[in-house]
Chains A and B, each alone.
Chain A
Amino acid sequence: MNPDLSVDLCGIKLANPIVTASGTCGYGRELAQFYDLSVLGAFTVKSLTLEKRAGNPTPRIAECVSGLLNSIGIQSQGVRHFIEHELPFLRQQNVPVIVSIAGNTADDFPRIAEILDREEGISAVEINISCPNIETGCGFGTDPEMAGRIVRMVKAKTKIPVIAKLSPNVTDIRIIAQSVEKNGADAITMINTLMGMAIDIDTGRPKLGNVIGGLSGPAIKPVAIKMVWDVYQTVRIPIIGMGGVMTWEDVIEFILAGATAVGVGTVLFRDPWVVFDLMDGIKRYLTERGIGRLDEIKGKVVFPGRRD
């Protein structure tokens, strides 16, 4: 038996649930040195801004216990540069491409979406309203009305499916999820990084040039699983679950919590080839349990003593 790993993400057919997380693999060229990108379920590009952006001062990362703090700050060549120099390459990779976009202002989002709408070969637009490393980034995604408004404006400018990437730095993520769904989001990506800070006790200085940053890696996985589970029970649109995925067991856990697809990010820095292990592990898990399709276990958390 060869289990079916394909999933349907708001009408986009993914050959498997593994999606790269935005900002962790550039525009694909580096990863493509190692293997064909078509082995992935989908490829998400680093967030694009309307104009060129320099990003934050170095040091931009600090390793923590089972986690990674970053404050890259969306270094970007801008959307037009992407269309001219990067998109043609991605179109040839035979993998669904998710284009992440970020704005300095709310109005940037529909403007970028309008530019992308004219282009072939984009499977979805992911709106990054949750970057903790730009002044306004997290603000968009922590206010339900603002999050909804940006989704609505983007939807008005493009026919490409729109995915909202949510911030975990909120009191109740379900309220944001409901707002983006109500305003037309086709899917949700969650979670972005958790805001954090680290201090070098020898120098007394913050470990990051930008002082604060976003925490990723296995340290945040239980937070992500809990939030995916919460949102899965609240909205009907599909979820790309992410946050600290290192192994195939983590992928299964996210799917049990209600994710349709699962993002990998930080793990790629150490092991760009991990996607093969993830796929092998998922297949084995399903085969051993006689499950024909991965989708069958979505959201199937088992509660002892409870009957559905």
Chain B
Amino acid sequence: MTKDKRENSCLHISATVVKNIRLCSDHYCLTLKSDILANTTKPGQFVNLRINGRDDLLLRRPFSVAMTRPAQSLFEIVYRVVGQGTRTMTELSRGEKVDLIGPLGTGFHLPEEPTNCLLLGGGVGVAPLWGLAAQLSKKKNNVIALLGFRSSDKVFGEDIFRKLRIEAIVTTDDGSYGLKGFVSDHLQKSLNRSIGHAYVCGPNPMLKAVLPMIRKSRIKGEVSLEERMGCGYGVCLSCVVNIAKEGVVEKKRICTEGPVFDLEHVVLNDES
């Protein structure tokens, strides 16, 4: 009996750890080698990672793919240490194998014609914008990134945008680095720059602040959402969000119909 059906969109993958480096106080970047994932994953898609040696943890941990490097068969994920699973991940070292399911979910859609694109990232939500920024630049879009972090010790990834020659504006809540305040405090200025398309990924309070502003400016765009996930492949119905389309509100699975949604349709939960 064969365990995989190779023609399928998402697969059971064994990837090899190439690097696992600390980016800032509690964020790490894990570089993995898998020819198939590096070549097939679109910006905004994610992988579901099984924690090595921790069979007591019942669930895999989902991570957006931050960047792919197809020529080297490499891809990167960024994770924040929040619990036992991610703490165990900090111990992963070069040459180790990790068990993944991926690529999962829908990715970001690129504009059909080159335009001015605004990337809005908050905290670990900055990571999936890396690969998107690279793709947008390659397709001759003009990209501006507005990136929010809690404080200077949590800032990461600014250099990735700089290397792509993308203007990256950094804010910190306490003003310890870059502009002081939330992303939403500095958004209006960017929105006034004739933006054709906006892409958003960040924590719920940030989404609550920025989505209405973007909609009010009549700018089209997409948002990548996060919710506690069980399976990552659509069976458990844990990670749902209300999506309003043509007056009808329906629960959609963030892992399968998302994580990327048209920001016009997303109805955020009251709780955050």
Contact = CB atoms under 8 A, between A and B. Distances in A.
18 contacts: A30-B233, A30-B234, A35-B2, A57-B271, A58-B269, A60-B228, A60-B239, A61-B228, A61-B230, A65-B56, A68-B59, A70-B230, A75-B237, A217-B58, A246-B55, A269-B235, A269-B236, A270-B59
B59 A34 contact: no
A217 to B, nearest CB: 5
Contacts of A70: 230, 236, 238
B27 interface: no
B238 A58 contact: yes
B228 A268 contact: no
Interface string B3-41: 111001110100000000000000000000000000000
B267 interface: no
Q: Which of A25, A59, A63 is packed against the most chain B CB atoms within 10 Å?
A: A63
Contacts of A209: 271
B231 interface: yes
Say whether chain A's binding surface is mostly helix, strand, loop, or mixed.
loop
Contacts of A170: none
A66 B58 contact: yes
Contacts of A270: 50, 58-60
A54 interface: yes
Given A58-B240, A75-B240, A268-B231, A273 B3 contact: yes
Contacts of A217: 58
Contacts, number: 104
A29 to B, nearest CB: 8
A61 B231 CA distance: 11
Nearest to A208: B228
Given A34-B12, A54-B251, A66 B230 contact: no
Given A34-B5, A66-B58, A217-B58, A273 B235 contact: no
Contacts of A144: none
Given A60-B238, A65-B56, A269 B231 contact: yes
A72 B50 contact: no
Interface in A157-176: none
- Majority SS at the chain B contact face: loop
A266 interface: yes
Given A54-B251, A58-B269, A269-B59, A72 B3 contact: no
A269 B58 contact: yes
A62 B57 CA distance: 11
Contact of A33 (B8, B228, B269): B8
Contacts of B59: 63, 68, 269-270
B8 A34 contact: yes
A146 interface: no
B3 A276 contact: yes
Contacts of A65: 56
Interface in B58-95: 58-60
Interface in B235-272: 235-241, 251, 256, 269, 271
B227 interface: yes
A61 B240 CA distance: 11
B235 A26 contact: yes
Given A58-B227, A217-B58, A24 B236 contact: yes
Q: Which of A35, A39, A70, A269 has the most CB of B within 10 A?
A: A269
Given A33-B8, A65-B56, A68-B230, A268 B240 contact: no
